[in-house]
Structure 1
Amino acid sequence: MRTGSEPTTARSALRMRLWLTLWGLAWAIFGTAAFALAGRPGWAAACGVLWVVVTVDLTMILRHRREGPHYQPGRDVPPYRPPEHRHP
């Protein structure tokens, strides 16, 4: 719901999320390989699960970045009126 108090210079955090996800992906891959080579299957599986979660997040980030900007109302569009609450 648009209230009219949104910042006019707001930016998406997708670029920062992309870099943090890539950093996490690198560590998840490294952790999976290191724990597997060290003979710690539980920790390797945990890092593998984290690897899957980070990959899904990376996929969503790339999808949102590819979609591009969405329509945002300008200053000439008045804010939405709050819904009226009617009590029975």
Structure 2
Amino acid sequence: MRTGNEPLQARSPLRMRRVLALWGLVWAAAGAAAFSVAGRPGWAAACALVAVVAAVDLVIVIRHIRQGPHYQPGRDVPPYEPAHAPKEEDGKNRRR
């Protein structure tokens, strides 16, 4: 829900997440290749699993970036009015 106090210059973390997923994919793939050459199949499988997770995350992030801000209100959309307390009736709801 939009409250009206969001920063005007807020940015999505998707681009940073894309960079980190790409970085993880490169290092995990390199680790899988290095461990395969070194004869460590367990570590190679672990690195390959991390590479697959990073690749899936990268695909999801790129998909979200391409979808664009379809659910974000623009600057021309006013903030929601804050909820107001009900009006007092004959002083019954008055705080002391």
Q: How does 1:65-76 map to 2 (within 5 A)?
A: 65-70=65-70, 71-74=72-75
Give 1:62 deviation, angstroms: 0.7
Q: TM-score, normalised by structure 2?
A: 0.74
- Contact conserved, 1:17 with 1:61, CA < 8 A, in 2? yes
- Structure 1: 5+ residue runs without aligned partners? 83-88
- Contact conserved, 1:2 with 1:80, CA < 8 A, in 2? no
Give 1:41 deviation, angstroms: 1.1
The total of aligned residue pairs comes to 82
What is the aligned-residue RMSD (CA, Å)?
1.8
Structure 2: which amino acid aligns with 1:30? A
CA distance in 2, matches of 1:80, 1:73: 16
For 1:33-82, what per-residue CA distance to the aligned partner results, in whole angstroms no more than 9, with x for missing partners?
11111111111111011011001100011101111122314365232656
Structure 1 partner of 2:54: 54
Larger Rg: 2
Structure 1: 4+ residue segments shifted above 3 A: 73-76
Q: TM-score, normalised by structure 1?
A: 0.79
- Structure 2: 5+ residue runs without aligned partners? 84-96
Identity %: 56
